[in-house]
Structure 1
Amino acid sequence: MLITCAGVLAVLGAAGCAEEAPPPDHTIVQPGKPGEDNRTLSQDEVQTAIPEAKPNDADIAYVRNMIVHHQQAVEMTALAPERAQNTQLKGLASRIADAQGPEIGMMNRWLTGHDLPAVNPTDAHAHAAMPGMATAEEMSALAAASGPAFDRLFIDLMIRHHEGAIQMATEVKGRGDDIKVQEMADHVVAEQSDEILRMEGMR
């Protein structure tokens, strides 16, 4: 015997033939103590009951080092308005500065939010230990250059600088625990990979 849609409608009325299934139940039930009933947790209780992973040493080292790493990029881009010749390069330098300057502040707020001391961005500690960092001599050469010579040196140094940042981000993605730091690292990989492609096109 075939049951027609009209027949179903006659029985179910406004419910219709294609009544949608109820949404899945995402409630979390907390078992009660012996002799007590189970209890359904609210969303707020769920969030507090499942603590976020605390940052580990890899997370903290990444943020501290990336603050100084970003600062050197900001210093390099500050030279571009007066010394660069290529208009595209000037625009890219401005974009890098606009992104990495505020990120320094954001990373320091992450540190202080975890009761860790902020980092002075101009502190030159461990420059040689971080991948992609320009040496003092290279920074002096960039500051002394102008026109096409500046453009070429800026692109060479900034590509290497970005590649170093991507290496650092990739490493913390494998070793870190903090969700926010993972998001920072993802952003560095995506943003700076795109900027490397732009600079390679300028060559």
Structure 2
Amino acid sequence: MTSRRARTLSVVTLALVLTLVAFVLVRAGGDHGTDAAQPVSAPATSTPAASPVPTDLTIIVPGRPGESAATRPAHEIRDAGPAPHNSLDVMFVRMMIPHHAQALEMAELAPGRAADPDIRALAERIRASQGPEMGMMRGWLQTRGLSPEAQGHDHGTMRGMQSPEAMRQLAAARGADFDRLFVRMMTEHHQGAIEMATELLKVGSDLTLSEFANSVATEQTVEIDRMREVLGH
């Protein structure tokens, strides 16, 4: 009887041991499987992911002088290159160079002929501004391989240009007579330049020339008003 109990106890003990061993093996296998299943983390990178470009983005495009701004799709602005010059830009420069040259010729007469010091000051201002502007226009043509000459065009027919006879009269005048004649002729000359510049703003395509034309129209309008004030005082 005692021997039977001992055998039974031994069997139960063995069963418990086997069960414990099986549990340990299963737990160990489960933990290893879990570690193997975890993905390996990718190395960190400092480059951010590219963000998609919005397809509905619009850009405000400034207008030319006197015009309002407009909105355009961003892809059109990105694809558009700089606008090239056109034939009207070239014609404007070729005409404005001799136009400026005559204004300088009139202004150079003032120091030895004008009675009013304000007239002499205005003439000096014209020389100081239009001389460098002629250099800029010649450079604009040169960088584009263009000749400064307008073939088949009579410069004397340009708006505001004074006739050779009028230029002789101005050169012969002195004192107050010179002042009055200078103001009249230079006012007509400036008005012609303003018309030419204003027209280019409507038809030209070169941005540099558009800015220059706007400057010509603005500055010469101021000078016309100043000359009239000087003559009226």
Give the greater-gyration-radius structure (CA): 2
1:51 shift after superposition? 2.4
The 1-side partners of 2:181 and 2:52 are apart by 58
Establish whether residue 191 from structure 1 lines up as the match of residue 222 from structure 2.
no
1:140 paired residue among 165, 168, 175: 168
Aligned length: 158
What is the SS of the residue equivalent to 1:163?
helix
Equivalents in 1 of 2:114, 2:155: separation in Å? 25
Deviations 1:8-38 (A, max 9, x none): xxxxxxxxxxxxxxxxxxx996xxxxxxxxx
Name the residue aligned to 2:145.
115
- CA distance in 1 between counterparts of 2:149 and 2:212 reads 17
Q: Does 1:82 align with 2:115?
A: no
Per the TM alignment, residue 117 of structure 1 is displaced from its structure 2 partner at its CA by 1.9
Match of 2:97 among 64, 67, 74: 67
**Structure 1 counterpart of 2:108, which letter?**
A
1:48 to partner: Cα distance: 9.9
Q: Report whether the alignment pairs 1:169 with 2:197.
A: yes
TM-score (normalizing by structure 1) = 0.73
What are the ranges of 5 or more consecutive residues in structure 2 without an aligned counterpart? 1-50, 54-76
Distance 1:187 1:92 in 2: 17
Return the letter of the residue paired with 1:67: I
**Residue 131 of structure 1 aligns with which residue?**
159
TM-score (norm 2): 0.63
Let me know the Cα RMSD of the aligned residues: 2.3
* Distance in 2 separating the partners of 1:94 and 1:115: 32
How far is the alpha carbon of 1:126 from its aligned partner? 1.8
Q: CA deviation at 1:152?
A: 0.3
Shifted more, 149-158 versus 128-137: the winner is 128-137
User: How far does residue 114 in structure 1 lie from its aligned partner after superposition?
Assistant: 1.4
Question: Which of the residues 60, 76, 97 maps onto 2:127?
Answer: 97
Share of identical aligned residues, percent?
46
Q: CA deviation at 1:164?
A: 0.3
Q: 1:83 to 1:184 in 2, by over 3 A?
A: same
**Equivalent residue, structure 1, for 2:71:** none
User: Once the two structures are superposed, what CA deviation does each residue of 1:129-182 show, in whole Å capped at 9, x if it has no partner?
Assistant: 210010000000000001000000000000000000000001111111110110
179 and 28 in structure 1: CA distance in 2 versus 1, 3 angstrom threshold = farther
Residues 116 and 86 of structure 1, relative CA distance in 2, 3 Å threshold: same
Change beyond 3 A, Cα 1:58–1:85? same
Paired residues of 1:64 and 1:119 also in contact (CA < 8 A): yes
1:198/1:115 CA distance change after superposition, 3 Å: same
| Structure 1 residues not aligned, in runs of 5+ | 1-26, 30-46
Cα pair distance change 1:151/1:175, threshold 3 Å: same
Q: Secondary structure of 1:128's match?
A: helix
Asked whether the equivalents of residues 109 and 118 of structure 1 are also in contact (C-alpha less than 8 Å), the reply is no
Deviations 1:26-62 (A, max 9, x none): x996xxxxxxxxxxxxxxxxx9964211111110000
By how many angstroms is 1:110 displaced? 0.4
Partner of 2:24: none
